[in-house]
Amino acid sequence: MKKLLSLLLCAVLVGGCVLTGCNSQESSGSSKSENAAVADPIENITATASDDKYRNYYEIFVHSFCDSNGDDVGDLQGIISQLDYLNDGDPNTGDDLGIDGIWLTPIMPSKSYHKYDVENYYDIDPDFGTLEDFDELIAECDKRGIKVIIDLVLNHISSNNPLYTKAVEEVSEGKLDGNAEYFEIHKSSYFDSGTPTNSLADGYECEANFSHEMPEWNLNSEKTREEFKKIAKFWLDRGVGGFRLDACKYYTNKSTDGTEFLKWFYDTCKEIKPDVYMVGENWTDDSDIQELFKSGIDSQFAFKFAQSSGLFVENIVTQNGVAIVKKVMNYDKKMKESNENAINALFLSNHDQVRIANTLEGQGLGYEKLAAALYMLFPGNPFIYYGEEIGIKAPNTTNDAAYRTAMIFDTADMPSIFVNGIGDEFDEPTGGGVKQQLEDKDSLLNYYRRIIKIKNQNPEIARGTITGMQGFDDNNVGAYYIEYEGSKLLVIHNFNAKESKTLEITDDMIKNAVVRADLVAESSDKHVELKDGKLTLPSQSTVILKSAE
């Protein structure tokens, strides 16, 4: 009787509160239907907070996330005001998104809104706040078990940075053994035809692949490396967990071996902070990514799976579960051949790409939910682009700035943040803002919350290795095994958008299998059923099976 009463109580409990407006707190939550045919398998499983490098990361484009002071620019205090939305410090409450890692896009002083041209590597841009605000953010994140990594731009610098302006001045005076050594400054004959450069005095030029405002560091210079060591120590000593390294693709040039440089920088940071985490941006092909993994770097973003033309979208739309599982498994295997400790970094979109809600617009909410379950339930560290969890769309698909519009916490109180280059356009998420979606138990936001809770209940998902696929003679069904420290899971996705699947589960697959967790796009009241070896898997749903304990 006590057990029955407990189940009934669990069915009607309502979640707590999270921050929804930039400066307000709202109570909200969701409950399971008392008439559900199958019990929710995750109700009585304890979740555990991460204490290692495996995290669910959330990318925040700082300019656009939350404005705390009314100047129409997002800032660090705005992020602090939303931390309880991201993580309330208790993995078992279910009242937060569950994020335990944050990636901040560049926060250092710069005249651009995106801040990828750094004028001072040792401060916070005044638009975003102060170093004291940053210290407060780190302290508040530490309370919640959130690791913060910051964007670090080591390939290029702002043309307004004093180190570079001094170099330009010295070159005009014929001095080449001073600040010029920090940068890729050479006679024009040094550069290949077509290499973008800035013209300096006396026939000298400085490489500038991105723009004239972003001249490039000489990564082979001892002066540069000493400066980078000082920069890394400054931020690691302030409490950051590591770095997202911009433009790793360009670390290799005529005078620099990119893998050697990256190994030097990673090893240097480990001397300062042994558990530093580092993820690189490298959007080239697999062979280049494999080569850079030899440096020992923890992660590199898996661009081939993301974007509107990426493999995730392709196989979700064609409903081919077998193909995408095989491709992720093979990709993981290749990367671990270069670095056995490589942590895959999967994502759907980021600040340089069309948002996933634009890409899947017209397909239906189930496609967005399946996409979320797919990339987040593979081993590694997923990176959620802010607003992705509520289905924010870009107002157009032709402008980087359009992918960086304001986070929407409440559609009744729309933010006034607008990004350079797109005017005052806004596109409301179909399900509303955070406040509205928290009140809808079947929203995309509540689906993301459930995924992360499941991951915190099953640490094997992030940390394990894909050891094989399980075939069911059905291309709609993508299934794979994850093994970690003697524990084995079978993850099964039904990619079919309309039809449920009935699958036979044998002891050869998972002995005495039970449903450990499930995700059903159609309704949170529906659950996967496993009875007498027959698994009923609704359309666009996911199940995790484990041997009965």
| Residues recognised as catalytic | 246, 281
DSSP letter, residue 490: E
Q: Name the residue type at position 273.
A: K
Q: How far apart are CA 477 and CA 475, in angstroms?
A: 5
Measured on CA atoms in the order 427, 429, 432, 435, is the torsion positive or negative?
Answer: negative
Q: How far apart are CA 61 and CA 403, in angstroms?
A: 10
Q: Name the residue type at position 348.
A: L
Q: Is 388 helix (H, G, I), strand (E, B) or coil?
A: helix
- Length of the chain as a residue count: 549
Strands (E), 356-446: 383-385
Is the Cβ–Cβ distance between 484 and 464 less than 8 Å? yes
Collect all residues with Cβ–Cβ distance below 8 Å to 269 and sequence separation of at least 6: 232, 236, 242, 243, 276, 278
Task: Identify the CA nearest to 93 among candidates 445, 452, 394.
Answer: 452
Task: Tell how strand 242-245 and strand 277-280 pair up.
Answer: parallel
Helix axes 286-293, 321-338, angle to 10 degrees: 40
Name the helix (H) or strand (E) containing 287: helix 286-293
Is the Cβ–Cβ distance between 355 and 403 less than 8 Å? yes
Q: How far apart are CA 506 and CA 487, in angstroms?
A: 17
Task: Tell how strand 501-504 and strand 513-520 pair up.
Answer: unpaired
Collect all residues with Cβ–Cβ distance below 8 Å to 5 and sequence separation of at least 6: none
